[in-house]
Amino acid sequence: MVETVVASPELVARVRAGVPALTREHLQARLAISETTWVKLRDGKPLKRSTLERLMVRLENGVSLAA
């Protein structure tokens, strides 16, 4: 069974603050997540642990979220 987790509101706010346009292309290019994943993240729904870990690594490694 796939392990799921819910992102903290702080993480969602951090991502949202740095993303000027929430388009499919921007989400994929900047964060390596799909629009569906963003909606789940934003709405506090469970995500695959591996997806959330990948997002957190990108943020920790200084991926520029600015356009």
Q: Is the pTM of this model over 0.85?
A: no
Q: What are phi and psi of 8, to 5 degrees?
A: -70, 150
- The pLDDT tens digits of the residues spanning 11-35 come to 998 888 767 788 888 888 888 889 9
Does a structural domain hold residue 22?
Answer: yes
User: 35 in a domain, yes or no?
Assistant: yes
Q: Using the predicted structure, report yes or no on whether residue 65 has a pLDDT greater than 90.
A: no
Which CATH number characterizes residue 28's domain? 1.10.260
Domain extent, residue 36, equals 4-60
Confirm whether 40 is domain-assigned. yes
Which pLDDT value is given to residue 67?
45
67 found inside a domain: no
pLDDT for 45 beyond 60: yes
36: in domain: yes
Helix or strand holding residue 49 (H, E)? helix 49-60
